[in-house]
Structure 1
Amino acid sequence: MRSRISRHLGLVLPEVQAAIPKAFTAASLKSTGTPRTETVPVLPPEFNWRDYTVMLFHVASEIEHSLMVQYLFAAYSLGGPQVPEHLRANVRRWQEIILGIAKEEMGHLVTVQNLLTVLGAPLNFDREDYPWGSEFYPFTFTLQRLTLDSLAKYVCAESPAGWSGPEAEEIKQRAAYDAGQEVNRVGALYARLDQILANREWLPDAIFQAQTLPYQASWDEWGRGYTQGERGRESGNVPSVQAPELLIEPVTSRDSARQALHAVGQQGEAFTEDETGLDERSHFRRFLGIYQEMKALSAEELALVTRPVAENPKTSQNLNQVTVVQTMFMGTARAEGREAPVSHVITHPEALQWGHLFNLRYRMLLLDVSHAFRLAGPLNDGNSLTARGSLIHRTFAEMYNLRAVAGMLLQLPLDAEQPNGPRAGPPFEMPYSLELPEEDSDCWLLQRDLVQAAQLLIRSLWDLVPPERKRYLESLEQSDRLALEQLQRLIARR
């Protein structure tokens, strides 16, 4: 974790007992009543309340980003020719459910950017490879196939406050064993933010900049393929699975900011059990349902529901990686004889190039979303997409590209010398930077750089792939050619 962030994280949790109005608690947006004793945040050194709130939203953004990536990796790992016939329908359903949750996490990530925008704060699409060191981070970032252990961590991270009982204790113990430490609830962070947003003395009304609304993401722009408010409808891919409900909440005021927090909380990171813990639509309940079904399988069946994908696949060796990871697991893991999670470098020539292409498309997706927040206006001008519209359109295209390239990686071995060994998987490695240039014209130059880099990678792959994978490269190359033509027109307008 970056030291400039981690040094503050030990200071974000202190609370004191104080009499505060019930209206300030996370359990209710509209309730009123006499003051009662509640735990309230303490302002850490080096901050005022607005800056502290911005930092917490940056933490929230990294958490949503990290969860989305880990859920995607787990979903991609499900399936394969080794799955027994009698389990294939269930495995496909589990995959679709987890992919839907990952898409909803994308909505949470974008909503957090809206909250940062309304505060006049910089956006944050970054994430840490190993975000540990604060009780606000749920568990160590690990790209791993779906198992009962990894699933237990997801259940605990999304669990409501007060979740207890024999099943809860069993899942918490399994999650803690796999994580090397107790898994934290994501809802604790959102409850803290809600407490701060509710207090007008800490955050005056004037800090909420309603004029930023045209630059924020909205459901009308980003809710493509999802029917707002109709999570009960069936998914087009698996008829028995409900389609995800993409929540993207614009924010103009204190009340709408709190409403956005509660919308996110009700969908996944529950504030309290009575608010979402019993909601079958929550991430918690959906993960718990899969856990209960997987637990009923035999050990032999469990071993066959996922592909044998390597944990934490990488395109290059990180010299500091072992030290960082083992430091986090020092103590508990060693005492129990467990090994800390390590990265596995992709050495198969074709898989390695697909891994680089995956990382590049991942960067392109993140920068497309970030760049869209720089622009205002409609998606089209009646005849063609506007600049903002093209960025949103390309974001969705990159989502499909990531899934397609991940599928290629899962077919290939990690190690060139072990063709029947573990499969390579999508590395999700962060780029050296996600910063955009100051001038919008230079942002388009950066976009052009990335498309041209993708063209170079496609050419390097061409002689390595068999005919069936060339067809995808041909379509991707054509798509990039059209994108490059559009970018050249936008650059020419400078």
Structure 2
Amino acid sequence: MAERCAIRCETREELVSLLYEAAELEHGLCCSYLFAAFSLRTGADAGLPEDQRESVARWRGLLAGVAREEMLHLALVSNLLTALGAAPHMGRPPFPQQSRYYPAGITIALRRFDEATLTRFVHLERPEGVGIEDDVDEDPALAPSAPGAGAPPGAVRAGDGDGEPVPGDGGLTTVGELYQAIEDGFEHLVDLRGEVAVFIGAPGAQSAADDLGFEDLVPVTDLSSARQALRLLVEQGEGVRGNWEDAHYGTFLRMREELREAQRADPAFDPAWPVVADPVAKARPDVEHGVVVDDELTVAVMDLFNSAYVLMTNLLERYLAHTDESPEALRALAGAAVAVMTSVVSPLGSLVATLPVGGEHAGATAGPSFEIHRAVALATHRRAAWLTFLERLGELADAAARIADRGAPQAVRGVADALREIRADLQRHG
């Protein structure tokens, strides 16, 4: 990992705060990669020749794979939090996320797939010691003063003096350095208090690899397993000590060069729909930036997407911070979350990227906005949580059917059917 950073955590609270920051970063990165994947032209009306369709399909698969690993990273961070006796953190600020809160120069936004977006991804995943490219310096979206959401409530580190800074803050420039600071924090607290006093979380509360299909999901119960989890987080993202070819950083570098080659061969080639940046389904006081969508049917599909996305997040949070669920019930929760992602969120995300923005944005399409209107809260009682999940799945299925009746594309009808199937399966285990 990177050289020792300028942050030292003297308390459990400070280390938990850094892990909250890491959770928000992984969550935000996952959404931004999925947004770029959903923006790619697919389907019979994509208007691309076969060789370009093949490239687009490969890029979409690579982006989906990277997003899946970000979901693994979020689960790993949750295990680290659980090991400290803290709850998983699934909240995050709205998009675009302000770089003044995260390590310097990191602004996470929702952008369509193009060369500039891939350059942003390269920048976000760059290893420690790798210089910043000229294209990044010229990109206002990555400037440390770029507009966007500030620190969320409860953060120890925040912008504009809002909150108490971690002692020694100021040395973070990459995501890898954030994880180095977290590893240093674990080591320092163990030196101060001993391993037993630091790792107070119940081992049985750790997430299992089999349930979510993440074979690399490491249970964290001591300093050795915490180091193992943190090492995986960095290796999959930026690579370590030059071995970055198969990491996210190397994947984005190759993808960008492939796009450049394809556009040199055909300058008119545009692999993505004309998706606007940072779409918003409804104007809200906490969102000052982005494009507000005007088309009523598009807004209805976006709202359905956002509701399904929040439900998936609720299901994951319940799985990650369960109470008295049986192993079978935990598998059902994890399965429901994955099913909502693959059978509801994914098709709706692809669909809304083809739907019109409306208003003054003629010819532009919307895109999934990943809006969380309120903090994602954990239902502490099992019965209430499960009844809420079943109720929400039924409500969303009915909402999808109504939207389909209004003339939405057939994919929305399929989403309604999928939601009913997920509800029936979860109910069998409830």
Q: Same fold (TM over 0.5)?
A: yes
Aligned counterparts of 2:145 and 2:324: Cα–Cα separation in 1? 46
Partner of 1:348: 295
Identify the residue that residue 214 of structure 1 maps to in structure 2. Answer: 204
Q: Which amino acid aligns with 1:127?
A: R
Q: Secondary structure at the match of 1:425?
A: coil
Give a deviation string over 1:283-330, Cα, whole Å, max 9, x none. Answer: 0100111122223344764661111112111110123533xxxxxxxx
1:396: which partner in 2? 338
Contact 1:82 1:304 in 2 (8 A): no
Aligned partner (choices 136, 139, 144) of residue 103 of structure 2:
136
| Gap change, CA 1:180 and 1:136, over 3 Å in 2 | closer
| Contact preservation (8 Å) 2:186, 2:223 | yes
**AA partner of residue 438 (structure 1):** T
Query: Which ranges of structure 1 fall in alignment gaps of 5 or more residues?
Result: 1-25, 29-37, 229-246, 323-341, 381-385
CA RMSD of aligned residues (A): 2.8
Q: How does 1:17-56 map to 2 (within 5 A)?
A: 26=1, 40-43=6-9, 48-56=10-18
Match of 2:38 among 72, 76, 90: 76
Which residue of 2 is the match for residue 306 of structure 1? 272
TM-score by length of 2: 0.83
Alignment partner of 1:262 is 2:231 = yes
Q: Which residue of 2 aligns with 1:364?
A: 311
Q: CA deviation at 1:207?
A: 3.0
Extract unaligned runs of 5+ from structure 2.
Answer: 147-172
Residues 164-313 of structure 1 correspond to what in structure 2 (within 5 A)?
Answer: 164=131, 169-174=133-138, 176-181=139-144, 184-199=173-188, 200-202=190-192, 204-209=194-199, 212-223=202-213, 228=215, 247-270=216-239, 272=240, 274=241, 277-298=242-263, 301=267, 304-313=270-279
Q: Residue 422 of structure 1 aligns to a residue in which SS?
A: strand
Within the candidate set 358, 372, 392, 1:415 is matched to 358
Q: TM-score, normalised by structure 1?
A: 0.73
State the structure with bigger RCO (CA 8 A, min sep 6), 1 or 2.
2
- Tell me if the contact between 1:210 and 1:251 (Cα under 8 Å) persists in the aligned partners: no
Distance 1:39 1:139 in 2: 17
Quote the residue 1:321 is aligned against.
Answer: 287
Q: Call closer, same or farther: CA 1:78–1:152 in 2, change over 3 Å.
A: same
Between stretches 280-289 and 457-466, larger displacement belongs to 457-466
Amino acid across the alignment from 2:300? Q
Which deviates the most, 445-454 or 425-434? Answer: 445-454
**Counterpart of 2:217 in structure 1: which amino acid?**
I
Instruction: Give how far 1:55 is off.
Output: 0.5
Note if 1:93 corresponds to 2:58. Answer: yes
Aligned residue among 456, 460, 470 for 2:402:
460
**1:279 Cα shift?**
3.1
Aligned partners of 1:415, 1:473: CA distance in 2, in Å? 24
* Conserved 8 A contact 1:149-1:178: no
Task: Report the alpha carbon displacement of residue 343 of structure 1 after superposing the two structures with TM.
Answer: 1.6
What is the Cα deviation at residue 70 of structure 1? 0.3
The change in CA–CA distance for 1:181 and 1:467 in structure 2 (over 3 A counts) is: closer
Mean CA deviation greater in 458-467 or 343-352: 458-467
The CA deviation at 1:213 is: 2.3
Question: Deviation at 1:152?
Answer: 1.1
CA distance in 1, matches of 2:108, 2:275: 16
Structure 2 counterpart of 1:60, from 7, 14, 22: 22
